[in-house]
Amino acid sequence: MDASTANYCAALEAAAGGAANLASETGSKAFRRFTASQIWKIMDRDPAAFAETERVSLISAFVVSVFLQNYAPEDSSDASGTNLIDLRSDPPQWSTKMLAIVSPKLREKLCAAPVDSFVLLGNIGEYFQRRYGFSSSCRLVAGAGDNPCSAAGMLMRENVDLCVSLGTSDTAFMLSSTATPRADVGSVYRNPLKRLSYMPMVVYTNGSLTRESARDYDGKARSWNEFEDLVNSVPKGNNGIVGFYLPRPEIAPETNGDVNRYFDESGKSVEESDLSLGSRCRAALEMRALAIRYHTTCLGMSKPVRIVATGGGSSSPSMIQVLADVLQCPVYVSPTVNSASLGAAYRAFHAVQCEAAEEGFVDFSASISSKKDIESDRVLEASPDSRSKATYDSLYSNYIRCERLVLEDQLG
């Protein structure tokens, strides 16, 4: 991940009146990979290149521009990852405040304003009609990013479904009717499927590779079946032990890496050497589920009715059961492969229906339900164990306290 914009992120936050003000305006504190800090870096290091730049475009809009043979605007969900959008504007708009902070010349290099994700932008260009035989009536919908399209592909319901992606990095997000951006955790994006709705999201760096590292911590290479046995050798709640095994720099909680801390139920530190390998493995799973419960609550997400799990980690019965128990809701696994690509197709169908509707919008789920049984792809993999609720409620409270201790250590 590009870390070359750290100084520009600090400058953005300072100019915006602090990280909290920036998050309230745009949905996120300044992130190093986001567009605003990247643009500022180019302006500072190569001002001639910026001066000669005619158009600044996100990749999703650039691809559509190629097919449109004209500049395409950004969609509001992808534009939410720039630190440049006015998160709550209707219709979507760039933030006048942030454009002025980055550069007075920036507005003329952007599209006039982002558009709703379900807007049709025009017909495919004549070149593609001649060269590849596309119909002249082929329409183009605003391009969006992978997570917004995955939300569409998994047919997520607002304030109902929590998507948990368990891969090299872990991600948790929900479609939400409210936005509660914070500077200390996560981001809030615009919902790609509905006006004035949002998609709060938390991303974790320490995903599957960290769980693999916990599995093989003593230097012995093990199978995932052995990992499952180790986790299940320890009771739910890990005898009150809360772990923070974060060998890589983490986003939430924000750490510099190489964190390996364990606490007992009173919040006192526990020596790692006093723990079994099974306890460390269970701690790695429960850490993730507890973090998701805490951080999604911080971002204002409602308690999910169900969890939809994806990614390689969703094949772990222990991980799925821990999620169900900690969040006390059923976990479903979607068998859909390439949900982002499928979601892009759903979005195109939805956009056509929206354009034809008298009000200019139709409900996404109702739109897709007319062609597909939305529930048919859901596979129930784990139900919450009500007997573990008190155990995990207590562990959750201790997790919050201990996360603060870890953050205090990071601050020195």
Q: Is the bond preceding residue 91 a cis peptide, omega within 30 degrees?
A: yes
Q: At what angle do helices 224-232 and 317-327 cross, to 10 degrees?
A: 40
Q: What is the pLDDT of residues 82-110, one digit of tens each?
A: 999 999 999 999 999 999 999 999 999 99
Number of other residues whose CB lies within 10 A of the CB of residue 320: 24
Main-chain phi, psi angles of 337, to 5 degrees: -95, 140
Q: How far is the CA of 59 from the CAs of 72, 99, 105, 143, in angstroms?
A: 11, 19, 21, 9
pLDDT for 339 equals 85
Q: Which residues, in sequence order, are CB contacts of 387 under 8 Å at separation 6+? A: none
Grade residue 292 by pLDDT with cuts at 50, 70 and 90: very high
Q: At what angle do helices 6-15 and 19-26 cross, to 10 degrees?
A: 80
C-beta of residue 161 within 8 angstroms of C-beta of residue 304: yes
Q: Is this prediction's pTM over 0.85?
A: yes
pLDDT > 90? residue 48? yes
C-beta of residue 41 within 8 angstroms of C-beta of residue 8: yes
Provide the phi-psi class of 235: left if phi over 0, else alpha when psi is between -120 and 50, else beta: beta
| Average confidence (pLDDT) over 287-296 | 98
Q: What is the pLDDT of residues 307-364, one digit of tens each?
A: 999 888 999 999 999 999 999 999 999 777 788 899 999 999 999 999 999 889 999 9
Report the alpha-carbon distance of residue 402 to residue 133 in Å, rounded: 61
| Average confidence (pLDDT) over 292-296 | 98
Share of the chain above pLDDT 90, in %: 86
Alpha helices in 53-125 (DSSP H): 59-68, 76-79, 96-102
CA 366 from chain center: how many Å? 25
Q: Which residues, in sequence order, are CB contacts of 152 under 8 Å at separation 6+? A: 192, 193, 342, 343, 344, 346, 347, 350, 364
